[in-house]
Amino acid sequence: MVCFRLAPVPGSGFLLLCLVLGAVSSYALELNLTDSSKATCLYAKWQMNFTIRYETTDMHNKTVTISDLGAATYNGSFCGDDQNGPKIAVQFGSGFSWIVNFTKEASSASTYLVDHISFSYNTNDNTTFPDAKEKGVFTVNYRVALKIPLNEMFRCNSLSTLENSDVVQHYWDVHVQAFVQNGTVSTTEFLCDKDKTITTAVPIIPTTVPSPTKPVVGSYSVVNSNGTCLLATMGLQLNITHDKVASVFNINPNTTNATGSCQPQTALLRLSSSNVKYLDFVFAVKNENRFYLKEVNVTMLLVNGSVYSISNTNLSYWDAPLGSSYMCNKEQTVSVSGAFQINTFDLRVQPFSVTEGKYSTAQECSLDDDTILIPIIVGAGLSGLIIVIVIAYLIGRRKSYAGYQTL
């Protein structure tokens, strides 16, 4: 027998999934699995979402974030028997399924394992995966082998991530106990390593007034088999509004890792750090002769321990000809949504056609273009001169007219 409910994240006040200004919300899944005598044999409560990257028919890469688990079912979940261990099976959305298996350790009578996790998605769903090049059901498997003491509740409020080249899985607020004894869920908690140190962790994002300091400029690059294929130099400042609280977070290049990929029509720069799981900049080619910033995806951990995720796949920034770089020294804002903006400083980026690991000639942004000031200054000067001449002429005529009257 399976008993389950879908509970909203505390403070949300809604029964349905809410997307507020593009920010991804999520729900706590809760499963109370009982045996034939209606005694609890497995209890779990957790939150999760998924980010999937797939290739389209026009050879571009698209990213979709799956966080709407509102119609979840738990068919196939069971307590386990002499041959098989307990299993949680969740189905949601249009063809998504998630399974976690538990096993007892043969070498120990006091512990069990979160053995492996599998996640399946169906790209035949054109609504979720529009223009997917490869159609079908795809499954990713992860060997976890997490050891948990029997008769203890495993707890991990911190963000945990499983990742391969196409799928990123995020878990947080996890509470689970398999092999429940005598139908009673334990009140003793076994903490994950991140939760053991969370009390001494330095706050990640301030919740007071935004910091006025300019971010440090960092240099990032992506390398493939042909050498350096993407270059980026910039200072990054993230502006976040979450639960009516505005925060500013500067990216520190000294503690940030840069990875990515380069394709003929798309290029990816992924920045990650201890609290920013990933900050993706996706570039694309348009009209076969220009490139631009098409997409930004971010998932990060906020100071209150919650996960903040947002994505916009329909941007149009940093436009420049192929074979050149884009440069903007002045402060520039990339508006991903009403709740998330990125301020850039001393920006220079070249996602395609990098030669010998060096930037090509830059196309400057309009903010940097001072040449427009020259005709404005000249025009203003000429206008002023004309006004002075007209005024002098009028004064001269007036004096002349007054002189004739005297005679």
Res 165: pLDDT = 76
Q: Name the amino acid, one letter, at 303.
A: V
Q: Higher confidence at residue 381 or residue 168?
A: 168
Of 50, 35, 33, give the one whose Cα is nearest residue 89: 33
| Spatial separation of the C-alpha atoms in residues 119 and 379, rounded to whole Å | 65
Residue 351 sits at φ, ψ, to 5 deg, of -90, -5
Res 368: pLDDT = 56
Q: What are the pLDDT digits (tens) for 86-95? A: 999 999 988 9
DSSP count for the chain of H helices, then E strands: 2, 27
Most confident of 16-30, 69-83, 146-160, 319-333: 319-333
Of 211, 213, 153, 212, give the one whose Cα is nearest residue 181: 153
Q: What are the pLDDT digits (tens) for 273-290? A: 888 989 999 999 999 999
- How many other C-beta atoms are found inside a 10 Å radius of the C-beta of residue 379? 10
Res 148: pLDDT = 94
Quick check: 254 and 216 in contact, CB under 8 A?
yes
Predicted confidence (pLDDT) at residue 125 exceeds the cutoff of 60: yes
What is the Cα gyration radius of the chain? 29
* Mean pLDDT on 298-320: 87
Q: In Å, how far are 34, 234, 291 from 357, measured between CA atoms?
A: 60, 17, 18
| Spatial separation of the C-alpha atoms in residues 360 and 374, rounded to whole Å | 27
Res 1: pLDDT = 44
Res 42: pLDDT = 95
